Structure 1
Amino acid sequence: MRQAYAFDHFRLFVAERRLEREGRIVSLGSRAFDLLVALAENAGQVVGKEALLTRAWPDLTVDEGSLRYHINGLRKALGVTQDGSPYVANVPGRGYCLVAPTVVIAHPPAAFVPLAERRSGTVPRLLDRMVGRDEDIRKIANQLLARRFITIHGPGGIGKTTVAVAIAHQMLNAFEGAVYFLDLTVLDGSAFVVSALASALGIVIQSNDPTAEIVAFLRERRALIIFDSCEQVIGALAALAERIYLDAPAACILATSRERLRVEGEHVILLPTLEQPAADIAITAGQLLNFSATRLFVERAAAHGYATEIPDGDAPCVADICRKLDGMALAIELVASRVAMHGLRETAALVDGRFRLLWQGRRTAPPRHQTLAAMIDWSHALVDDAEQMVFRRLAIFVGPFVPAAAAAVISGPAFEPDRVLEAIESLVAKSLVAIARNGELEEYRLLDTTREYAFAKLVQAGEMESVAKAHALYLLTTIEEARAPPEGEPVELSKHTRKLLVREASSALNWAFSKQGNGRIAARLAAAMAHIFIEFSLLRECRSWIERALQTLDEGSRSIVLDMELDAALGHVLTFTEGNSERARYALLRALEAARQLQDHRSQFRLLSRLHMLYRRMAKYDELEQLSREAQSLADAIGDPAGKAAAHNLLGVAFHLVGNQKAARQHLETALLMAEFRHIKPSHFAFHRNPNIALSRCLWLQGYPDQAVASAKPLASQGAAPDAVTYCIGLIWGASVFEWVGDWDSVERLAEQLRAHALRYSLRPYQAVGDGMAGQSLIRQGDFDRGIPMVHSAIDVLRQDSYEMYIPQLAATLAKGLADCGQADEALLVVNNTLDRVLLNGGALETPELLRVRGEVELARGDVLTARASFRESIALAEEQGALSWQLRAQTSLARSHGPHDTDAEALTTLAHLYGQFTEGFQTEDLAMAASLLLERDKACFSKLDG
């Protein structure tokens, strides 16, 4: 007799690993079952978390998150007690308790299945461990009884047979043992299908076609027939299954197949791959157990002798392997079995090699599951020659593809596009091609392992070069036709399409630049893809392809249009990857001259915008207005409203940077009011940055701190920026507003966002700015030992890259910090050198602040009269620029320079006048300081009156 536990309506059979509720089997995962046994053995008592972890994961170290996950699953399966409380209670800080009292009962072995009805040997042995399929088994088992005919559909190695075997064991009780499992892979052909089923049912065959006898036998019997691996005998099996479904209403059918049977009564369930962590999330070793794919990998690696505990640093490596294997159970098991031999990271590297297809699995596995190659061979052998040709040629696509792309690349004089699409549909039905859902768009893809197999077939067939050329030409034609259609305006490719092009382009360019490739196609494709690479912030990749194109082109392959496109892209990417170099400037100027020769107004506008960015990064602000005016003339000539709005934006930024805030605000707000600007797409010649980036700073300078902050806050949202560069600029310019209002917590937060984002996209100058911002925050907190070196270092990096734009703001804080820690002479040197460089190019919006900081440093050196002169110079220039906030700040410094016993009535009166011009922002740092000084003056006046 065997031991079991009874509580309420449940019976827990330990040896059989079965839980029943009122005679019906309750589906439980293996971990949840182990936890329930441990709780049942100690019913009414608290079982500690460590004890439960040891019981359910005896050979693994996992975190409490995994325990909570499986306890929640157990609670869901058990439901609640009569009083509405869960059967498993959580005792905080201690563990868990099964609240229902249990009774130990004895039962005979296998008493739940009538032995007279059981056909021993027809159902394969249940696996000891199965990962990630509990919900699939439950769903299919529930539908099977209602639908009667279910096909588990999916590619080889996904786990269809494993799930079918589990369902067979789970349904033994429901069908009173009448479960018949047919492994169709052992048959020599379709002719033996019917006789194999008759033999399994124990029917004595009395005719050449025993179908009628099978149907008669099953007509009044409740039975479950499982047909495993139908794809090789699909025709005969489909006819037999349909006949049973129609004429034997008490029987149920469960089929597993790489191809749908497509007969009456069939309900297809596509078995999903195992769950994998998303590529864009950070993951720890403990969290690997929360995903079925990575949990299977960890368990199978341990089972094959990998005794090392996976550290958090290697968890992303495991997740990446499982993603490359598309969550395919067989592939994961085969790869995990190699970890003990090669190590985790070496195995990860080997996964990218094709010989992983030949890694051996379990000796006792079916031949089709011995290796990944054998698994795919099994399906490949079942398709005709035309489908095999399409299959191997699809390997040229590295990611999802649309039908039109496949037809364009694969079709030819002897193989029409319609035949390509028909072949793809057949390959989908046979699980060699997967459907990649993207909303309503129809897309397909080859799973990574399948693609490796198909690619080898493509090379063996000698078709690699011709298909690679067709693939590259398709990409080139798609982009060039969108940018310059025969009629009308350029066509905006969807963002998803552009992402697909980026993925495919790297592969196509690698071929095109190879010895077997075509240099002319390579150069044209590199030029055509440049603006898309830039859009997705793939700047270093873009630079690499452009430089290779320029090196590859000979005189016979060159053209003024191609040279213009290559130079335009090179100048742009060099700006962000090499710094604001003369090489970048000359490349843009060459491209602009070519555009002028071609009278290509749109390209001229785009290049003027790029030069505008280069010059403002170099702080050559005196060049900006002329460039902006030329862009405005081009926009007028083109007649495009979006171009006119972008020209206003260029002018607004130009005036803002030179210090004409009134004109700047006028142009920026004009751009914002023009609705066309908000709908400019990346492919549009006038695509430009959000005017709010500059307008937020304009608003503060003109004396509207609250409006400035409201405008700056959205700039910290990555979703508001179309690319990495724009996001960095938004963070920096937004942070300057927060710095000016005295919100240093926000400055520190934005600095961290900037540093992380710049590091991710290898944007060294922006990372330096982020370091400088972080250093500014430290200086303001009084941490001079850390802050001053950080700002010094940031300025040095920016100077090396000729990136002068953000240096004045950093230098102002640095000088103030040096003065505050007693290094006033060095502070004066910093501020004077910065002022000299700024004034060399005609001055800038920061000039009044630099003059004010110089006055503060001179004050710290005890040179009061010189300091007051600097303050007055700052005030006059701020007034000229229309920068009320700079005026207030400098006037406050001037008023404070007199001290409590040496007040200057005129300075305070002017300060009061300036303060009175503000209508908002009274809680910000500068206004609060001015108010404090004015309050002290008022107190002094009252004191004199009282006296």
Structure 2
Amino acid sequence: MSDTFTFGPFLLSPGTRVLRKDGAELSLGSRAFDILTALVECNGKVLTRRELMAIAWPDLVVEDSNVRVQVANIRRALGCGQDGARYIASVAGRGYCFVAEVARTTAEAKAPSLFNFPLPLKGAVGREEAVVELSQVLQDSRLVTVVGAAGVGKTTLAVLVAHGLHDVFQEAIFFVDLSTQDCGEMVAEALACAVGYTGPGAELFPGLLEVLSTRRTLIVLDNCEHVIGAAAALCVRILEGCASVTFLATSREALRVSEEFVYLLRPLASPPNTGRLSAQQAMDWPAIQLFMERAREGGVRDGLSDDDAPTVAALCRRLDGNPHAIGLVASRVGTYGIQGVADLLENQFALHWQGRRDACPRQQTVEAMINWSHNLLTEHDRQVLYRLSVFCGEFPIGAAVAVVSDERFDAFQVAEAIGDLVDKSLVAVSSLNEEIQIRLLETTKAYAATRLARLQGRDEIARRHALYYAQQLRNHAGRQAQPGSADVPTCAPEIGNVRAAMEWAFTAQQDLALAAEISGMAAPLLLELGLFRECKRCCERALKLLPESLRSSTIELGLLESAAITYYAGGDYDGEMTHVVERGLALSRELGDVRSAFQFLAGLHLALMANGRFAESLSVSDEYAAMAAAQGGPGEAVIARWMEGSSRHFRGFQRAADDSYGASVELVALHELRPLHYFELKEQVVAGLGMARVKWMRGLPIQALQLALGAMEESRRHPDSFYLCATLCFPILLGNGLTDLAEELIQELENVANDYKVAVRSQVVHFLKGLLLHGRGGFPAAAVHLRQCLDMLPPPKMSVVRTDALQALAEAQFACGEALAALASIDEAIELAEKTGGAFNLADLLRTRVEVLQGLPQGRQELLEDLLAQALDCAREQAALGWELRVALSLARLKASLGKPREARALLEEVYARCSEGFETRDLMAAAQALEALCAEPVP
């Protein structure tokens, strides 16, 4: 390739494989270079991880995490995040996109395309001026609603305009089809799904706003009228919280919110009834042009004659210039001729566009239009159309044949009828993964569903639909990826139809057992897709309405397990999670399901630790170990040691924790681990972090760092655990002086959240930024972030983070001269540690309290010496040499100030002599300097 690319201060030459910044050549690995080249060449286009793997590792099978590591290397080389620079954006669940402006020196720019966005028509007859006007309005207004009657072409216009604005919005354009959403609470989730945000969490909007704020974005909200209130509220909230978003909505009525620009899309102009009209004159009118274009598509070969021109004009006027109605009528001209179509309209339909006054608003303007098309169908085609209305969104033609066919209509007849409906524009056709998909237009579906509801067999059709998707879920069972993993689900049943099947089964209440079974099988699919909030609602409803026959069944057990996962992934550790896990544990034992019992015990253990109930968590780990010895295998024995080690670590028993973790390592060396389930995977993650923290607290900072880096690498395989890894490993990085790596970790944490849309834990980001600023001496800014973290983190949830944040805040406040506030903060931290039993850093908390007390005028030095002696005893009891060194340093300084240099030196020398590594780390360097100073002083 001879082209070169420039972006920001960089020049990329793929032909010579050179990357330069401001003229200086940068070093970049070969695979990273290949990935960067592909992203830059496809600037603005999303490349999937599989595409990038094929580029960087041709003919090799590698894991997705390799791509993420290489992208992290590229971001580091380009300085992403420094001074606001942004080059590579993550698109959740899909891949990566180069977003900086790129100049190519020789080759022509590629034709732009929008991913996962409806293709525009070659042209919209009579809408050229509307496209220009609306495009300009969108650059001046952030909320524009295209308003008009059903079938007037709102969606067509919106798609055309969006494609025309790809240069303005750099292809950050998303299409949200609300026609498949049957309740307002699903509107926000539909938008999140369209932009790739599928993360768990109790609150959807913070993470969604973070995704949308990364670049200028255009969101097309299509078909808002049936969820108008929710759509309006969504627009207002996002516009208030994110200045980079523009909305283009389509609706039959305005949203009626502040600063909305309403663009009224009028019908296509038709010639007035003024007498004789030639074909040439008629073809100047957009409605006539569209009529003839659709007629040609329907098989008409001749052009418009002067004789037929007045008839066509009358038809268009009668159809009120509605593009959809015109298309329906014109498509039958090839069969009936122009006059024949006119006669049908005149004789068979009064075409009362207002419809029945008791009909829903949509039917008042659309029913007659669909009625006309419906009455042109054979009875056979009508029945098939009615039955197809049980489907939602797009669905495979095979599914349609399986559900619709019966003893009355065989599979061949159904397939033939679907072909007829496609020809009549009542059913749309598309292709997905080389499989034919069909979809009823929204208005057609509503019309057909009304007709189906009048038939006695409606529930039987809906039941067959539910049974079909129940079988699809059974076929899919066992192939799901772990919730929160980087794997992308494939060949899963269409979630829209799964939802429809569940909804019918619960609403009809004719077969609650089937409803519960579908829910139980759908829940893992929802987890697989990252729809944690929807999965939670699904499980809660199914458990509430579970029929007595399924109480204490495997179906209830599966629902409880999925519900527990949603609670944990969403940070809802207390309350319902504990109740659900305890019920699941009791039921698994009742059913003799050992696997589930182990899973629920692990979940209970994690919930207790997250809630700061460390003593109880140790009891649960003992229970797990006993059960593992009696009923488990090598895998359970390993997990038991993980749980035991983690509980002991947070309780403050560091030597015992080290022994437990060491035993787990020996077991893993002897026995290959079986595949782990969700909570077992989380235990593995926590144990990996615990091993690093134990080594750090025991005065082995180099070993701790190696384990922490390994744990971080492993957590990249499970992105929903990455925030936990960053939180618990961060002090180890700072203690080893790796502030630059710590800063990169914060950026990577945010990137991973964007990649996979796991919950963006804002409180964790504030916590880490506060620790980093504290470590660099920026105490006022550190205090701001730490306060924000604490405000967002009510006790006792995540008590480990809260305790560390309070200690760091106290030290920052003390450095800023706020001694009383610092004392209040450290006292709260100590009280929390004692209340929760989380004594892992109690010795260090006591040390901080003494240092704060030293800054108060009423502090008694002798009393402070006793307090430090207590802290020293605490550290020694915990076998925490790392804490012992810190406390000994503070105590030595205090003794020296009290005229006891000999005691000070002897104390510090004894502790320092037991340290065996990490002499370049912050604590050991401070101790060495203090010893040198003490040795230089004369001893009385």
TM-score, normalised relative to structure 2: 0.56
Paired position in structure 1 for 2:652: 659
Q: Distance in 1 between matches of 2:633 and 2:932?
A: 55
Q: CA deviation at 1:612?
A: 0.6
1:680 is paired with a residue whose SS is coil
* Equivalent in 585, 597, 615 of residue 592 of structure 1: 585
Q: 1:899–1:387: structure 2 CA closer, same or farther, 3 Å change rule?
A: farther
Q: Distance in 2 between matches of 1:732 and 1:751?
A: 10
Paired position in structure 2 for 1:347: 249
Q: Which has the higher contact order (CA 8 A, sep 6+)?
A: 2
Residue 836 in structure 1 maps to residue 831 in structure 2: yes
Q: CA deviation at 1:464?
A: 7.1
* Equivalent in 868, 872, 894 of residue 871 of structure 1: 868
Amino acid at match of 2:545: T
1:637-671 deviations in Å (ceiling 9; x for gaps): 44443333322222221222112233333433544
Q: Distance in 2 between matches of 1:826 and 1:885?
A: 27
Q: CA deviation at 1:866?
A: 3.0
* Equivalent in 280, 294, 306 of residue 367 of structure 1: 294
Residue 911 in structure 1 maps to residue 908 in structure 2: yes
Q: 1:818–1:594: structure 2 CA closer, same or farther, 3 Å change rule?
A: same
1:868-927 deviations in Å (ceiling 9; x for gaps): 333332332223223222222222222233458956344434434444444443332222
Q: Distance in 2 between matches of 1:639 and 1:819?
A: 52
Amino acid at match of 2:175: I
Q: CA deviation at 1:631?
A: 1.9
Residue 729 in structure 1 maps to residue 724 in structure 2: yes
* Equivalent in 689, 692, 698 of residue 702 of structure 1: 698
Q: 1:711–1:385: structure 2 CA closer, same or farther, 3 Å change rule?
A: farther
- State whether residues 865 and 895 of structure 2, in contact with CA within 8 Å, keep that contact through their aligned partners in structure 1: no
Give the 5 Å matches for 1:215-614: 291-293=112-114, 302-303=131-132, 306-308=135-137, 310=139, 315=169, 319-321=173-175, 345-347=247-249, 364-365=289-290, 366-367=293-294, 374=327, 393=388, 396=391, 398=393, 434-437=430-433, 444=435, 446=437, 466=460, 468-477=462-471, 479=473, 496-497=489-490, 500=493, 505-515=498-508, 518-534=511-527, 537-553=530-546, 555=548, 558-575=551-568, 577=570, 579-614=572-607
Q: Distance in 1 between matches of 2:492 and 2:930?
A: 57
- State whether residues 699 and 707 of structure 1, in contact with CA within 8 Å, keep that contact through their aligned partners in structure 2: yes
Q: CA deviation at 1:503?
A: 6.1
Q: 1:449–1:655: structure 2 CA closer, same or farther, 3 Å change rule?
A: same
My pick for the range that moved more, 692-701 or 783-792, is 783-792
Residue 807 in structure 1 maps to residue 661 in structure 2: no
Q: 1:645–1:883: structure 2 CA closer, same or farther, 3 Å change rule?
A: same
Q: 1:546–1:286: structure 2 CA closer, same or farther, 3 Å change rule?
A: same
My pick for the range that moved more, 509-518 or 388-397, is 388-397
Q: 1:684–1:577: structure 2 CA closer, same or farther, 3 Å change rule?
A: closer
Q: 1:507–1:395: structure 2 CA closer, same or farther, 3 Å change rule?
A: closer
Q: 1:877–1:457: structure 2 CA closer, same or farther, 3 Å change rule?
A: same
Max Rg structure: 1
TM-score, normalised relative to structure 1: 0.56
Q: 1:570–1:915: structure 2 CA closer, same or farther, 3 Å change rule?
A: same
Paired position in structure 1 for 2:883: 886
1:674 is paired with a residue whose SS is helix
Q: CA deviation at 1:483?
A: 6.6
Q: 1:830–1:465: structure 2 CA closer, same or farther, 3 Å change rule?
A: same
Residue 852 in structure 1 maps to residue 706 in structure 2: no
* Equivalent in 619, 629, 635 of residue 626 of structure 1: 619
* Equivalent in 919, 924, 927 of residue 927 of structure 1: 924
Q: Distance in 2 between matches of 1:616 and 1:518?
A: 40
Q: 1:498–1:754: structure 2 CA closer, same or farther, 3 Å change rule?
A: farther
1:491-511 deviations in Å (ceiling 9; x for gaps): x99962486565654444344
Q: Distance in 2 between matches of 1:813 and 1:838?
A: 15
Q: CA deviation at 1:364?
A: 2.8
1:572-622 deviations in Å (ceiling 9; x for gaps): 534555744334323322332222322322222111111111110111111
Q: Distance in 2 between matches of 1:780 and 1:562?
A: 51
Paired position in structure 1 for 2:610: 617
Would you say how many aligned residue pairs link Structure 1 and Structure 2?
A: 654
Q: Distance in 1 between matches of 2:140 and 2:715?
A: 33
Q: 1:525–1:661: structure 2 CA closer, same or farther, 3 Å change rule?
A: farther
- State whether residues 560 and 580 of structure 2, in contact with CA within 8 Å, keep that contact through their aligned partners in structure 1: yes
- Percent identical residues: 21
1:292 is paired with a residue whose SS is coil
Residue 788 in structure 1 maps to residue 795 in structure 2: no
Residue 674 in structure 1 maps to residue 663 in structure 2: no
- State whether residues 739 and 747 of structure 1, in contact with CA within 8 Å, keep that contact through their aligned partners in structure 2: yes
Amino acid at match of 1:520: A
1:652-696 deviations in Å (ceiling 9; x for gaps): 212221122333334335445627776525479777443323222
2:793 is paired with a residue whose SS is helix
2:840 is paired with a residue whose SS is coil
- State whether residues 620 and 841 of structure 1, in contact with CA within 8 Å, keep that contact through their aligned partners in structure 2: yes
- State whether residues 462 and 504 of structure 2, in contact with CA within 8 Å, keep that contact through their aligned partners in structure 1: yes
Q: Distance in 2 between matches of 1:626 and 1:338?
A: 55
Paired position in structure 1 for 2:764: 769
My pick for the range that moved more, 387-396 or 738-747, is 387-396
Amino acid at match of 1:655: R
Paired position in structure 1 for 2:822: 827
- State whether residues 648 and 656 of structure 2, in contact with CA within 8 Å, keep that contact through their aligned partners in structure 1: yes
CA RMSD, 1 decimal: 5.9
1:345 is paired with a residue whose SS is strand
Q: Distance in 2 between matches of 1:936 and 1:828?
A: 29
Paired position in structure 2 for 1:116: none
Q: 1:733–1:685: structure 2 CA closer, same or farther, 3 Å change rule?
A: closer
- State whether residues 855 and 871 of structure 1, in contact with CA within 8 Å, keep that contact through their aligned partners in structure 2: yes
Amino acid at match of 2:541: R
Q: Distance in 1 between matches of 2:768 and 2:92?
A: 34
Q: 1:418–1:386: structure 2 CA closer, same or farther, 3 Å change rule?
A: same
1:786-838 deviations in Å (ceiling 9; x for gaps): 43344234334423564423221111111212222223233223323322332
Residue 641 in structure 1 maps to residue 641 in structure 2: no
Q: Which runs of 5+ in 2 are unaligned?
A: 1-5, 16-22, 24-42, 44-90, 103-108, 144-168, 180-193, 195-219, 225-231, 236-245, 256-263, 269-285, 298-322, 335-372, 480-484
Q: 1:433–1:593: structure 2 CA closer, same or farther, 3 Å change rule?
A: same
Amino acid at match of 1:632: A
Q: Distance in 2 between matches of 1:692 and 1:419?
A: 60
Paired position in structure 1 for 2:182: none
Q: Distance in 2 between matches of 1:888 and 1:714?
A: 26
Q: CA deviation at 1:523?
A: 3.1
Amino acid at match of 1:524: E
My pick for the range that moved more, 640-649 or 531-540, is 531-540
Paired position in structure 1 for 2:62: none
- State whether residues 696 and 707 of structure 1, in contact with CA within 8 Å, keep that contact through their aligned partners in structure 2: yes
